[in-house]
Chains A and B, each alone.
Chain A
Amino acid sequence: SQQGEEDPQALSIQEGENATMNCSYKTSINNLQWYRQNSGRGLVHLILIRSNEREKHSGRLRVTLDTSKKSSSLLITASRAADTASYFCATGSAGGTSYGKLTFGQGTILTVHP
């Protein structure tokens, strides 16, 4: 079962604009990660934020985490056509039932028009 929801399900923007995607989850987490997937291929890790962190940056990416609201957001600034992909949030937990398990959201399909 999915951990939570991603919003919006699809996002269409022009090159140079910013893209914001949101993710909500249901249970307590150890960390939250964002992944990108191009056309049904493998997932590429973008950024990881731990439960005791509130914000993290990596290049044009900015991730925030609000554990009180059980939500996270991914901001891509100055988007490029090459950013067109599906973006997934995934949560990880500690404990024996969580070995190797990331729980994914349904994803946001981002289309960046040149």
Chain B
Amino acid sequence: KAGVTQTPRYLIKTRGQQVTLSCSPISGHRSVSWYQQTPGQGLQFLFEYFSETQRNKGNFPGRFSGRQFSNSRSEMNVSTLELGDSALYLCASSLSPFFDTEAFFGQGTRLTVV
């Protein structure tokens, strides 16, 4: 079956702009989480969605938001981009809401803010 699909793979944006990233989970997986990966901070949890509801949120400013659609596809949005938002953004899906079974990650979206 198809894996987790993230689009686009690469993105270059200017400071102050906003960006939307997309994630299609594995069919049947209703729990979707987003992570930010940077060399300095490592992998940081952004938020988790289940059945179109955000159930958990990491320690990120309100500029970071997301949503989930009825087909479990998820989007995350970053407004008023800052240079520090440059990162690899990873989406993961799992059968278990606590991710205590195997989590499947997408290839990520590499965001560069200039």
Contacts and interface: CB of A to CB of B under 8 A. Distances in A.
B45 A102 contact: yes
A41 B106 CA distance: 8
Contacts, number: 86
A107 B39 CA distance: 11
Interface stretch (A17-25, A63-71, A74-82, A88-96): A88-96
Q: Is the interface of A mostly helix, strand, loop or mixed?
A: mixed
Interface in A19-58: 30-31, 33, 35, 40-45, 48, 50
A85 to B, nearest CB: 13
A78 to B, nearest CB: 24
Given A42-B90, A42-B108, A101 B103 contact: no
Given A43-B90, A97-B56, A102 B99 contact: yes
A106 B99 contact: no
A87 interface: no
A73 interface: no
B106 A42 contact: yes
Contact of A99 (B35, B56, B59): B56
Given A99-B50, A101-B48, A30 B98 contact: yes
Given A40-B88, A97-B56, A101-B33, A2 B108 contact: no
Contacts of A94: 98, 100
Interface string B49-89: 11000011011000000000000000000000000000010
